[in-house]
Chains A and B, each alone.
Chain A
Amino acid sequence: MRRARERPAAWLFVLPAAAYLLLFLGCPLVQNLVMSLRRYDATGFATGDAPFTGLRNHAAVLSSTLFSEAAVNTALFTAGSVLGQFTIGLALALFFQRRFPLAGPLRALLLLPWLLPLVVSGAIWRWMLDPDTGPVNALLRGLHLTSSGIPWLTGPTEALVSVIVVNIWVGVPFTTALLYGGLQDIPPHLYEAARLDGAGPVRILRHLTWPLLRPVARVVVLLGVVYTVKTADLILVLTGGGPAGATQTLATRAYELSFQRYEFGYGAVLGNVLIAVSTLFALLHLRRLRAGGGRAVSA
């Protein structure tokens, strides 16, 4: 009885945050859809005169080769980043599961790259990868692996590889933290039992650790994809999408169309694509959650 009376009060507590989220995250979703159906360019933006054009923006943007290029880059960037983050993250998580002196402080320090502002990480790596004076090429030259410097951020293939490597560096700490958490939840007596049964480290990993870690691993990968697909800032800082569009992704291209060419209608189309991709993976994520094995990650 009492609870029934209290429920309206409960909603009053929730209301301000709900209103804010609706206004600053819900409205943009709708507004983006509307913008993508109108001719929102610089003049239309200034005069407020943005005629309805139906799917013409979509046709123009989606049929251009720049779109397919950006889509392929996004797929490569996302797949490479998530794969790299996961493999290295898992290896580090397994390593830190061992008990050894200083394990705790070392694990905490490992978080540092993840805590740095992305612009700072981008700036550091721009300098590390500088072809003439950066330490990476200096090291390679010292080892006689290359005589002329490698154009890490200015060669088309090298640039895409470089942004992926840097994004892996940024994401490994968080992946490690999540997977380490998942490993800690596996009851130790299972390991002891397996060891008593004579199982070696490889068999333990394959038949005990991996199956029990899989729900967490799945969430880590799904979230990795959702967060990587929409990455714009790191690429903007490292290469600005260049050279000649070699590192242009859907997100950086959306930025370029909207804020450098003031073709907001076109930018919104790419926004729609990003939303569609995120929704797809979000739905996958939610289905896993409902299945009960997963966890919701929010950072």
Chain B
Amino acid sequence: MRRGEKRGPGPGAGRGARRAPGRRGLPSTVVGIVLLAVMLFPVYWMVNTSLQPAGGIVRGDWFPAAPDLGGYATALRDQGGHLVTSLVVSLGSVALSLGLAAPAAYGLTLLRARRIRLVLLGVLVTQMVPGIVVADTLYGAYAELGLLNSSPGLVLADSTAGVPFAIVVLHTFMRTIPREIVEAARMDGAGRLRVFRSVVLPLSVNALVTAGVFTFLFTWGDFLFALTLTTSGPVRPITLGVYDYLGAHTGQWNAVMATAVLASVPAALLLVVAQRFVTSGATRGADR
């Protein structure tokens, strides 16, 4: 990361000089915790409600005094299948996006600077296409091709977010791979494909994970394509399950919120397990 380089001569030199932590730091920590509590209160409220006893109208108790897993039982019974659908579609979208984006990102590193910029600009522009326009036109094509209400259809549509994002993230990383490493492999007689497979890809694991994780999240959270390209039948992602619940079950907020919690699990996992990927992905996408 280039942030570290600019910070000053020694590690932490800038830090120490700017503000001595300790006496002056603690009030800030308190303020930070309060700010965060306000920001995350809705998330707390979701978990709290999901643990309220089932049956009757859920009254807003501020704390789940007697936690009850009834909401989760209902949610899993009704929505378990949709969770599996979302998992399948999201993993499919990760596979497709990385499969298309990784070679493209590598190919871009071999091109002339001006062409690269042109292609990357094109990639950026694609990210500004409104989803509703894509859904509008895909609906007609899908109806003819029999792709409505199918997992492959959703994978193809959902990857419109993953592919461009993955190209940008992977290209940003791959162009930092020292040319000598690639040249050396070429000297040993490896073809372009071979170099890509056995040199470039293994070196890019971190970037691949970052791009993959975000593609997974994009697809997992997709609502618009799920809403428009699945109209009936068993293929319904969990986002659509939550939406259906909102229409039918608002008397049973505990079950609705339990479903919401289950639908949030990937985001929560990501935050805990792969935190460094999140921040690097957010800023990597933002750099250049």
Interface residues, chain A, with chain B CB atoms under 8 Å away: 3, 6-7, 9-14, 16-18, 20-21, 24-29, 31-32, 35, 45, 92, 95-96, 98-103, 106, 108-113, 115-128, 130, 133-135, 138, 169, 172-174, 177-178, 181, 184-185, 187-189, 191-192, 226, 229-230, 232-233, 236-237, 251, 254-255, 258-259, 264, 267-268, 271, 274-275, 278-279, 281-282, 285-286, 289, 295-299
Among B64-72, B130-138, B201-209, which stretch is in contact with chain A?
B130-138
Contact of A298 among B119, B238, B267, B285 (CB under 8 A): B285
Inter-chain contacts of A120 with B (CB < 8 A):
46, 239, 242, 260, 263-264
Contact of A278 among B26, B39, B130, B286 (CB under 8 A): B130
A135-B60 contact, Cβ under 8 Å, with A12-B107, A100-B29, A110-B39: yes
Inter-chain contacts of B157 with A (CB < 8 A):
24
Q: Is the CB of B288 within 8 A of A295?
A: yes
Inter-chain contacts of B99 with A (CB < 8 A):
16
Inter-chain contacts of A282 with B (CB < 8 A):
124-125, 128
Q: Is the CB of B227 within 8 A of A236?
A: yes
Give the docked Cα–Cα distance between A173 and B221 (Å).
17
Q: Is the CB of B45 within 8 A of A128?
A: yes
Q: Is the CB of A298 within 8 A of B132?
A: no
Inter-chain contacts of B110 with A (CB < 8 A):
3, 6-7, 9-10, 13
Q: Is the CB of A17 within 8 A of B126?
A: no
Q: Is the CB of B39 within 8 A of A25?
A: no
Contact of B19 among A99, A189, A299 (CB under 8 A): A99
Instruction: Report which residue of A102, A187, A229, A289 has the largest number of chain B beta carbons within 10 angstroms of its beta carbon.
Output: A102
What string of 1s and 0s marks CB contacts (under 8 Å) between B18-38 and chain A? 110100111011011101100
B15 at the interface (CB under 8 A from A): yes
A298-B133 contact, Cβ under 8 Å, with A113-B42, A117-B267, A119-B243: no
Give the docked Cα–Cα distance between A123 and B244 (Å).
11
Q: For chain B residues 74-118, which have a beta carbon within 8 Å of chain A?
A: 99-101, 103-104, 106-108, 110-112
Distance in angstroms from B103 CB to nearest chain A CB is 4
Q: Is the CB of A108 within 8 A of B271?
A: yes
The main secondary structure of chain B at its interface with chain A is helix
Inter-chain contacts of A258 with B (CB < 8 A):
132, 135-136, 139, 228
Q: Which 3 A-B pairs have the closest CB atoms?
A: A13-B107, A117-B221, A17-B104
Inter-chain contacts of B140 with A (CB < 8 A):
31, 35, 45, 264
Q: Is the CB of B136 within 8 A of A101?
A: no
Q: Is the CB of A32 within 8 A of B137?
A: yes
Distance in angstroms from A261 CB to nearest chain B CB is 13
Contact of A237 among B126, B132, B243 (CB under 8 A): B243
Q: Is the CB of A95 within 8 A of B31?
A: yes
**What are 28 contact pairs spanning A and B, CB under 8 A?**
A6-B110, A10-B107, A13-B106, A13-B196, A14-B111, A17-B167, A25-B126, A25-B160, A28-B134, A32-B136, A100-B28, A106-B36, A108-B279, A110-B36, A111-B279, A112-B271, A116-B264, A127-B45, A127-B49, A135-B60, A169-B42, A185-B6, A188-B8, A188-B18, A237-B223, A268-B136, A298-B127, A298-B165
A21-B42 contact, Cβ under 8 Å, with A9-B192, A123-B242, A232-B224: no
Q: Is the CB of A251 within 8 A of B132?
A: yes
Q: Is the CB of B129 within 8 A of A28?
A: yes
Give the docked Cα–Cα distance between A26 and B137 (Å).
11
A297-B264 contact, Cβ under 8 Å, with A9-B192, A25-B126, A255-B132: no
Inter-chain contacts of B51 with A (CB < 8 A):
none
A17-B163 contact, Cβ under 8 Å, with A99-B18, A255-B228, A299-B281: yes
B54 at the interface (CB under 8 A from A): no
Q: Is the CB of B42 within 8 A of A125?
A: yes
Q: Is the CB of A286 within 8 A of B121?
A: yes
Give the docked Cα–Cα distance between A264 and B279 (Å).
40
Contact of B45 among A45, A124, A237, A268 (CB under 8 A): A124
